[in-house]
Amino acid sequence: MTNCIIQFDFDEIIPRQGTGSRKWDALDNVFGSHDVLPLWIADMDFSSPKAVSTAIIERANHPIYAYNTQEKSIYQSVIEWAKKRHGWEIEEDWILLAPGVVPSISLSIFALSEPGDGIIIQPPVYPPFFASIKDNDRKVIENPLLIKNGRYEIDFVDLELKL
């Protein structure tokens, strides 16, 4: 795995209005006003790292877009990251690549539960988590996080009751 340092300029302001940004250009539709700070969506307002932009541009410059194989380096990077970050020894065949978090949650709910089962979530959470449960004919069971000393914490007493 290549070690690299990615730096961000958190002081650089990049105007996003008028760029088709759901975060910034849909404020009136989502909130009925454009005079809000849109913290409702997982969308960054910082430039992508140069290495990422360069890699995407290099790939996009190839004249054919097609179905690609999964390079071994992807799996090796995940294995090394898990070892370095968590001390976990994982194997390549344990890794499944997915198109995104929400489809992965939906597939997990479908695979690991039955219609009518309750699925516990801990609000505040990303709104599609609720829909992933309901769209799979499961019941949302909320175990809201508690705010203590300005930090969110799990309400373990409530969680145990709901489990």
Distance separating alpha carbons of residues 44 and 7, to the nearest angstrom: 14
Q: Residue 146 pLDDT > 90, yes or no?
A: yes
pLDDT of residue 4: 60
Q: Cβ of 143: how many Cβ atoms within 10 Å?
A: 19
From 127, 107, 159, 149, select the one nearest 41 (Cα to Cα): 127
Whole-angstrom distance, CA of residue 90 vs CA of residue 75: 10
Both tokens assigned to 82? 């898990």
CATH 3.20.20.70 fits 1-66, yes or no: no
CA 23, CA 40: separation in Å to the nearest integer?
8
Question: Is residue 17 classed as helix, strand or coil in its secondary structure?
Answer: coil
Q: What is the reported pLDDT for 41?
A: 81
Percentage with pLDDT > 70 across the chain = 96
Work out the pLDDT band at 1, boundaries 50, 70, 90. Answer: very low
Location of each CATH 3.90.1150.10 domain in the chain: 1-66
Confidence of residue 47 (pLDDT cuts 50, 70, 90): confident
What tokens appear for 110 in the block?
């479908």
